[in-house]
């Protein structure tokens, strides 16, 4: 593996949602990620992109022998990631105190929706529930009803990204202190941070809690999506005055009524007029006229269209493997560029084989 995290060893306990994507991102950046799967798992799904760059071991964590094997792995690793309900790892004999006794340098990443404590800590839930409680879901969608933004906000922004950030921060701190620590990463804690801009707007009295009533939620005519004559869509984001002027000039919105860019009372009528105009031509014609200009317009592409866009293709944002598309590793590094990690393995490794491969490196575990 190549990349800025080459040499970092990670043990990932099999989970759904944020944890496997976190493992993929760490592996993309060069970390050696070993997933602990339940006993009987003989291969990882070859079409599971988030499982790329892994090795895996199959262990029965209800058997003392399986727990002992897991502890041997954890004694030699830098990072642990798990996404169980609070208390499960402790009941398995793999809680933070037990592991820290063997490896005081271990960074122990715990990923949940509700957190390790609090009234809902033992409750089940999914992304939609976690973002509902934070105030994010209520702000997303048309005026009639909130719409879940896939599971991008809770699972992957509030979950994966904060977990990875916490792990990297703890590794940096470990260089100073020589000690690992436990990361309690909860989506209900992280998503409020993603709403910082909107809390700032509320503090300033410029945020309406109704949906489609604000600049960034589809309320403004100059920031939203529009259907074209062929049923395809454009995105328009002409916020700044100079970009709004470019949009008006190029798209023909020269009527004096469009001078009222920031008059919220005028937004519904101006949006309706822009919608009628964009419906008059197919998307390709609008892109030929507006894309790449200061009008801040881009086509709304499907996941299958996106890799074929000239900019995305030029950047190599997607790669094709065995005729199938997946995201390339990101971000980019000037000296330690990562390469595309291998596909999910077709067979498990033995714990002893993993440990033998790690033995050439200085052990992460050091007892006082």
Catalytic-labelled residue, pool 126, 184, 208, 294: 126
Distance in angstroms (rounded) separating the CA atoms of residues 137 and 156 = 15
| Helix axes of 187-194 and 162-177: crossing angle, nearest 10 degrees | 100
Catalytic-labelled residue, pool 127, 155, 189, 217: 155
Q: What is the 3-state secondary structure (H, E, C) of the chain?
A: CCCCCCCCEEEEECCCCHHHHHHHHHHHCCCEEEEEEECCCCCCCCCCHHHCCEEEEEECCCCHHHHHHHHHHHCCCCEEEECCCCCHHHHHCCCHHHHHHHCCCCEEEEEECCCCCCCCCCCCCCHHHHHHHHCCHHHCCCCCCCCCCCCHHHHHHHHHHHHHHHHHHHHHHHHHHCCCCEEEEEHHHHHHHHCHHHHHHHHCCCCCCCCCCCCCCCCCCCEEEEECCCCCEEEEECCCHHHHHHHHHHHCCCCHHHHCCCCHHHHHHHHHHHHHHHCCCCHHHHHHHHCCCCCCEEECCCCCCHHHCHHHHHHCCEEEECCEEEECCCCCCCCCCCCCCCCCCCCCCCHHHHHHHHCCCCCCCCCC
Q: Is 208 a catalytic residue?
A: no
Q: Is 155 a catalytic residue?
A: yes
Give the catalytic positions in this structure: 126, 155
């Amino acid at each position: 593996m190549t990349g800025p995290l080459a040499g970092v060893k990670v043990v990932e306990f099999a989970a759904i949602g944020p944890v496997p994507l976190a493992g993929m991102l760490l592996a993309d950046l060069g970390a050696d990620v070993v997933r602990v799967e339940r006993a009987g798992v003989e291969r990882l799904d070859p079409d599971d992109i988030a499982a790329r760059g892994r090795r895996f071991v199959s262990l029965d964590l209800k058997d003392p022998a399986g727990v002992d094997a897991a502890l041997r792995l954890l004694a030699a690793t830098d990072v642990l990631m798990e996404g169980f309900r609070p208390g499960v790892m402790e009941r398995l004999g793999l809680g933070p105190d037990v592991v820290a006794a063997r490896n005081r340098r271990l960074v122990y990443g715990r990923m949940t929706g509700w957190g390790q404590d609090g009234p809902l800590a033992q409750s089940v839930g999914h992304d939609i529930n976690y973002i509902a409680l934070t105030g994010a879901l209520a702000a997303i969608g048309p005026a009639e009803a909130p719409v879940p933004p896939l599971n991008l906000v809770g699972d992957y922004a509030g979950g994966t990204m904060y977990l990875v950030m916490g792990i990297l921060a703890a590794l940096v701190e470990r260089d100073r202190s020589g000690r690992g620590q436990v990361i309690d990463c909860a989506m209900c804690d992280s998503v409020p941070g993603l709403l910082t801009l909107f809390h700032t707007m509320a503090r300033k009295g410029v945020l309406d809690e109704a949906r489609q009533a604000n600049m960034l939620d589809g309320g403004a005519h100059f920031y939203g999506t529009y259907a074209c004559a062929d049923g395809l869509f454009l995105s328009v984001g002409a916020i700044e005055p100079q970009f709004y002027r470019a949009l008006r000039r190029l798209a023909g919105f020269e009527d004096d009524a469009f001078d009222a860019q920031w008059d919220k009372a005028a937004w519904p009528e101006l949006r309706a007029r822009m919608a009628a105009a964009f419906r008059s031509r197919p998307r390709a014609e609008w892109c030929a006229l507006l894309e790449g200009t200061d009008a801040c317009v881009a086509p709304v592409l499907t996941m299958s269209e996106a890799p074929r866009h000239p900019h995305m293709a030029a950047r190599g944002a997607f790669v094709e493997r065995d005729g199938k598309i997946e995201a390339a590793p990101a971000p980019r590094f000037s000296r330690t560029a990562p390469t595309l990690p291998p596909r999910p393995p077709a067979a498990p490794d033995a714990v002893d084989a993993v440990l033998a491969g790690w033995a050439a490196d200085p052990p992460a575990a050091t007892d006082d």
